[in-house]
Structure 1
Amino acid sequence: MKQRLKYIILFILFLPAGVLSLDHDNAEKKIKYLSTEIARHNYLYYVLGQPEISNQEYDRLYNELVRLEKRFPGLVLPDSPTHRAGSKLENIFPLVSHPLPMLSLDKSYTVSDLVSWAVNIQEITKKKIFFMAEEKIDGTAIELFYENGVLVKAATRGDGQSGYDITANARTIKTLPLKLDKPVSIIVRGEVFIRKSRIKNSGNEEDYDTGSLRNMAAGALRKHCSRETAKIPLDLFIFEAVSGVPGKDMDHGKILEWLKNLGFPINSHNQIINHIKDIAGFIDKTAVNRDILDYEIDGIVLKVLDRKIRNRLGNTSRFPRWAMAFKFESLQAVTNLENIIVQISRLGRATPVAILKPVKIGNSIISRASLNNQDYINDLGLGIGDKIRLVRKGDVIPVIEDVLEKNSSSTWIMPVNCPFCNTRLENIGEHVFCPNYDCYEQVLGRLVWFAQKMKIKYLGPALIKSLIKQNKIHNPEDFYSLSSDDLKHLKGFGSHKIQQFKTSLEKSKDHPFETIILALGIQGLGRHNIMILKNAGYNSADMIISSDMEKLAEIKGIGRETARKIIKGFNPDIQKTIQALKKNGLRL
Structure 2
Amino acid sequence: MSEDENAGESRAGRYADPAENPYVVDPPTDFEPVEDLSEAEAETQAKHLREAIREHDYWYYVEADPIVSDATYDALFDRLVELEETFDIQTPESPTQRVGGEPIEELETVEHAAAMLSIDQTTDAEDVREFDERVHRELETAGFDPNTIGYVCEPKFDGLSIEVVYEDGEYVRAATRGNGASGDDVTEQVRTIRAVPQRLRGDRDRVPSFLSVRGEVYIPREAFNEYNRERQERGEEPFANPRNAAAGTLRQLDPSVVADRPLNVFFFDVLAWEADGEEPERPETRWEDLSAIAEFGLRKNDRDELVDDIEEAIAYRDRLQEERDELDYEIDGTVIKVNDLEACELLGATSRSYRWAFAYKFPPRTETTTVEDIVVQVGRTGRLTPVALLDPVDIGGVTVSRATLHNPAEIETLNVNVGDVVRVYRAGDVIPYIPAVVETRTEGAYEFPDTCPVCDSPVEYEGPNAYCTGGLGCPAQLERAVEHWARREALDIEGVGPETVAQLREAGLVESLPDLYRLDREALVDLEGWGETSAENLLAELEASKEPSLPEFLAALGIPEVGATTARNLAEHFETLDALLEASESELQAVDDVGETVASEIREFLDSERNRETIATLRDLGVGPEPYGTDEAREGTELEGLTFVFTGTLSVPRSEAETLIERHGGNVTGSVSGNTDYLVVGEDPGTSKRRDAAAHDVETIDGTEFEALLADHGIDWPPA
TM-score by length of 2: 0.58
Superposition map of 1:309-320 within 5 A = 309-320=343-354
Question: How do 1:361-510 residues align onto structure 2 when only pairs under 5 Å count?
Answer: 361=395, 364-373=398-407, 377=411, 380-394=414-428, 397-400=431-434, 402-412=436-446, 414-415=448-449, 418-420=452-454, 421-428=456-463, 431-434=465-468, 437-438=471-472, 440=474, 441-453=476-488, 454-461=491-498, 463-464=500-501, 472=510, 474-475=512-513, 479-480=516-517, 482-484=519-521, 487=524, 492-506=529-543
Query: Does structure 2 retain, via aligned residues, the 8 Å contact 1:330–1:395?
Result: no
**Equivalence map 1:40-439=2 (5 Å):** 49-50=101-102, 92-126=106-140, 127=146, 128-181=148-201, 185-199=210-224, 204=230, 206=232, 209-223=238-252, 225-246=254-275, 247-330=281-364, 333-361=367-395, 364-373=398-407, 377=411, 380-394=414-428, 397-400=431-434, 402-412=436-446, 414-415=448-449, 418-420=452-454, 421-428=456-463, 431-434=465-468, 437-438=471-472
Measured in 2, the distance between the counterparts of 1:416 and 1:177 equals: 51
Q: Which structure 1 residue ranges, 5 or more long, are not aligned?
A: 1-47, 53-88, 554-561
Partner SS, residue 502 of structure 1: helix
Instruction: Please name the residue that 1:552 is paired with.
Output: 592
Indicate if the aligned counterparts of 2:412 and 2:445 stay in contact, CA closer than 8 A: yes
* Per-residue deviation, residues 47-67 of structure 1 (Å, max 9, x unmatched): x94269xxxxxxxxxxxxxxx
Distance 1:238 1:542, change over 3 A: farther
Contact 2:160 2:247 survives alignment (8 Å) = yes
Equivalence for 1:44: none
Residue 338 of structure 1 aligns to a residue whose secondary structure is: strand
Q: Cα offset for 1:256?
A: 2.5
- In structure 2, the CA distance between the partners of 1:297 and 1:377, relative to structure 1 (3 Å rule), is farther
Distance 2:381 2:166 in 1: 41
- CA displacement at 1:242 relative to structure 2: 2.4
Any conservation in 1 of the 2:294–2:300 contact (CA below 8 Å)?
Answer: yes
Which stretch of structure 1 is more off in the superposition, 577-586 or 114-123?
Answer: 577-586
| Cα distance in structure 1, aligned partners of 2:412 and 2:210 | 39
| Structure 1 residues 439 and 512: alpha-carbon distance in aligned structure 2, compared to 1, 3 A threshold | closer
Higher relative contact order (CA closer than 8 Å, sequence separation 6+):
1
Tell me how far apart the structure 2 counterparts of residues 375 and 221 of structure 1 sit (CA, whole Å): 21
State whether residues 237 and 267 of structure 1, in contact with CA within 8 Å, keep that contact through their aligned partners in structure 2: yes
| Structure-2 change in CA distance of 1:50 and 1:225 (3 Å) | closer
Match for 2:247: what amino acid?
A
CA-based RMSD of the aligned residues comes to 4.1
- Cα pair 2:364 2:395 within 8 Å, conserved: no
Q: Is the 8 A contact 2:520 2:539 kept in 1?
A: no
Q: CA deviation at 1:296?
A: 1.9
Residue 114 of structure 1 and its aligned partner are, at CA, apart by 1.3
* 1:288 aligned counterpart, secondary structure: helix
Give the partner amino acid of 2:107: F
CA displacement 1:514-552 (0-9 Å, x = unmatched) = 76665555555657x66xx97xx8884736978764773
Structure 2 partner of 1:59: none
CA contact (8 A) 2:570 2:591 kept: no
Q: Deviations over 1:168-219 (max 9, x none)?
A: 4434433233443367554332212222232456663626823222222223
TM-fit CA distance, 1:302? 0.9
Tell me the alpha carbon deviations over residues 94-134 of structure 1, each in whole angstroms, 9 at most, x when there is no partner: 34444444333211112232132123212211233222111
Measure, in 1, the Cα distance between the counterparts of 2:341 and 2:102: 40
In structure 2, how many angstroms separate the alpha carbons of the residues matched to 1:147 and 1:437? 58
**Residue 375 to residue 526, structure 1, CA distance change in 2 (3 Å):** same
Distance in 1 separating the partners of 2:546 and 2:257: 33
Q: Taking structure 1 as reference, are residues 284 and 517 closer, same or farther at Cα in structure 2, changes over 3 Å only?
A: farther
Distance 1:361-1:279 versus aligned 2 partners, 3 A rule: closer
Contact 2:589 2:596 in 1 (8 A): yes
| Residues 253, 272 of structure 1: 8 Å contact kept | yes
1:331–1:395 Cα contact (<8 Å) kept: no
CA distance in 1, matches of 2:309, 2:356: 16
Q: Whole-Å Cα distance in 1 between the matches of residues 543 and 210 of structure 2? A: 65
Aligned position for 1:584: 624
The farther-off stretch of 382-391 and 414-423 is: 414-423
Q: 3-state DSSP class of the match of 1:498?
A: helix
Note if contact 2:386-2:405 (Cα within 8 Å) is conserved in structure 1: yes
Which residue identity lines up with residue 571 of structure 1 in the other structure?
R
Cα deviation, 1:17-49, whole Å, max 9, x if unaligned, reads xxxxxxxxxxxxxxxxxxxxxxxxxxxxxxx94
User: Distance between the aligned counterparts of 1:394 and 1:332, measured in 2?
Assistant: 12
Indicate the SS of the match to 1:278: helix
SS at match of 1:571: helix
Match of 1:393, SS state, is: coil
For residues 556-583 of structure 1, what are the alpha-carbon distances to aligned partners after superposition, in whole Å with 9 as ceiling and x for unaligned?
Answer: xxxxxx7555544543646978896895
Secondary structure in 2 aligned to 1:456? Answer: coil
Deviation at 1:317, TM superposition (A): 3.0
Deviation at 1:375, TM superposition (A): 6.2
Distance 1:293 1:240, change over 3 A: same
SS at 1:410 equivalent: coil
Aligned equivalents of 2:160, 2:178: Cα separation in 1: 10
Which of the two has higher C-alpha Rg? 2
SS of residue matched to 2:295: helix
The change in CA–CA distance for 1:442 and 1:156 in structure 2 (over 3 A counts) is farther
Shift of 1:139: 1.8
Summarize the Cα distance change of 1:382–1:472 in structure 2 as closer, same or farther, 3 Å threshold.
closer
CA distance in 1, matches of 2:388, 2:307: 43
CA contact (8 A) 1:330 1:392 kept: no
Distance 1:362 1:295, change over 3 A: closer
SS at match of 2:319: helix
Q: Counterpart amino acid of 1:206?
A: Q
Letter in 1 for 2:232: E
Report which stretch shifted further, 390-399 or 101-110. Answer: 390-399
Matching residue's letter, 2:487: Q
Give the SS at the match of 1:326: strand
Q: Equivalent residue of 1:93, what SS?
A: coil
Offset at residue 230 of structure 1 (A): 3.7
* CA–CA distance in structure 2, aligned partners of residues 448 and 564 of structure 1: 28
Residue range with higher mean Cα deviation, 126-135 or 240-249: 240-249
CA distance 1:113–1:587, shift in 2 (3 Å) = farther
Structure 1 letter corresponding to 2:386: P
C-alpha spacing 1:113/1:387, structure 2 compared with 1 (3 Å): same
Question: Is 1:571 matched up with 2:597?
Answer: no
Residues in 2 aligned to 1:155 and 1:268: alpha-carbon distance in whole angstroms: 24
User: C-alpha distance in 2, partners of 1:516/1:233?
Assistant: 32
SS in 2 for 1:113: helix
- Return 5+ residue gaps in structure 2 as ranges: 1-99, 141-145, 276-280, 629-720
1:351 Cα deviation from its structure 2 partner: 2.9
SS of residue in 2 equivalent to 1:319? coil
